[in-house]
Amino acid sequence: MGKTYTAIVIDDNPYLLKDFEALVKTHPLLSCIRVVGYFKSCRAALRFLKRYGEVDLVFCDIILPGENGLHLADSFFDYTSFFLIISSFGNYKEMALDVGVDGYIMKPIDPGEVRKKVNRLERLRQSGRMIDDVEKKIFLNDADRHQEVKVPLRDIVVAEVHPSRLNYLSIRLTHQTLTVKKSLTSLKRDLMKTDFFVQLHQSAIVSKLHVAKVLDGGVHMDNDFFYPVSSRHKKVLTELANYLATIN
């Protein structure tokens, strides 16, 4: 039997709660999830967690009677490894990622999307021997917003040469993209201090933590971007494939 992840679900729609319960009981992709509580409000969920303790996953709706799941998200961070928004509305996604949630799942719930989030949690935990390194932060100057941003290394998905601005990088984070005046070589010195970053080719560095799939022609990241890799750099694909094999 594989790893089981404890979870709670917060939604004021009783049909959603019943559907979620049916999914985790019957769908093979979600057999790894054990829901320990279903709640119609964040207040009730927090009261439960104060007694029960930490769970692996919290699935929370945004619009609740007298409450807002986004506004209360940080109240759950001490009780869960992953706080995931479930919503019928896509227009809150940017706001959700800005407050630090770990994922945004659209309704009706797709078991495949839920499993992707569970797999990402597993990858982070499997790499626990270096978790202190990925929790470290670096400072990057965002050229578009004219401000310095403190970025956790674990939030960096890809750093690549900017497609149209000379001597700039486009750095894709889990919740936003930064434009930074910096060379890839310079950034590489900071990132390669950990074991979590791999240079795909002369124009891009990716985080192993965010690699979803390795193919002959390139790499799929968990932000749905695909990065092609030429046959000259097959060694990189082999390294990433071996990494994924050790954590799956």
Please give the average per-residue pLDDT across 24-31, as a whole number: 95
**What is the rounded CA–CA span in Å between residue 238 and residue 53?**
40
Structure tokens, 4? 């089981």
For residue 223, what is the enclosing H or E element? none
The percentage of residues in the chain with a pLDDT greater than 90, rounded to a whole number, is: 52
- Strands (E) in 21-146, as ranges, are 33-39, 55-60, 63-64, 67-68, 80-87, 103-106, 137-142
Q: Domain segments of the chain: what residues?
A: 5-126, 131-247
Out of 102-111, 155-164, 230-239, least confident range: 230-239
Pairing of strands 156-161, 169-173: antiparallel
Res 121 pLDDT > 70: yes
The percentage of residues in the chain with a pLDDT greater than 70, rounded to a whole number, is: 93
**What is the rounded CA–CA span in Å between residue 81 and residue 63?**
22
pLDDT by residue (tens digit) across 196-217?
Answer: 899 998 899 999 989 999 988 8
The answer to whether the bond into 163 is cis (omega within 30° of 0) is no
CATH fold for the domain made of 5-126: Rossmann fold (3.40.50)
pTM of the model: 0.57
> Which CA distances in Å does 13 have to 61, 62, 128?
9, 12, 37
DSSP per position, 172-211: EESS-EEEE---HHHHHHHHTTSSSEEEEETTEEEEGGGE
Task: Give the end-to-end CA distance of the chain in Å, rounded to a whole number.
Answer: 14
Residue 126: which pLDDT band, with cuts at 50, 70 and 90?
low
The phi, psi pair for 60, rounded to 5°, reads -135, 130
131-247: CATH number: 2.40.50.1020
